[in-house]
Amino acid sequence: MWYESMRKEAKKKHFMHLESIDLIATHSNGQPLLLNRMGWAKINLCIAGFIRTPVRDAVQITEAGLAIWGKGSCCWSDLYETAAWKQKMGSGLPG
């Protein structure tokens, strides 16, 4: 139920440029694709130390996250360069 309200809010505020098919597309496991991508983004931001999840369904931005927010964008290299990412994932880039 929370996903449906979150999806509607995201569609209104951030995804108005997307075709409706992009908002209802599903992953091979049947999960909405938008939710799947948001989940992976959350995992990667947590690994890099930009956000933390103190309790279930709660997300808290960290000091590092505020710094990247101030930059205005976040790309893969920003994630890979953090000490938290290197500690958890190693220093090599995927690929």
> Number of structural domains, the chain?
1
Handedness of CA 50, 41, 82, 87 (dihedral sign): positive
| Residue pLDDT, tens place only, 22-72 | 556 677 777 777 777 888 889 999 999 999 988 887 889 999 999 999 998
Give the domain extent around 9.
2-89
For the chain, helix, strand, coil in percent to 5 are: 55, 5, 35
**How much is the pTM?**
0.69
Would you say residue 51 lies in a domain? yes
- Please report which confidence band the pLDDT of residue 16 belongs to, taking 50, 70 and 90 as the band edges: low
51 forms beta bridges with: 61
In a domain, 95, yes or no: no
Categorize the per-residue pLDDT at 19 as very low, low, confident or very high, splitting at 50, 70 and 90: low
Residue 82 is inside which H or E element, if any?
Answer: none
DSSP 25-66: -B-TTSSBHHHHHHHHHHHHHHHHTSEE-SSTT--EE-HHHH
Helix (H, G, I), strand (E, B) or coil at 83: helix
Residue 22 in domain: yes
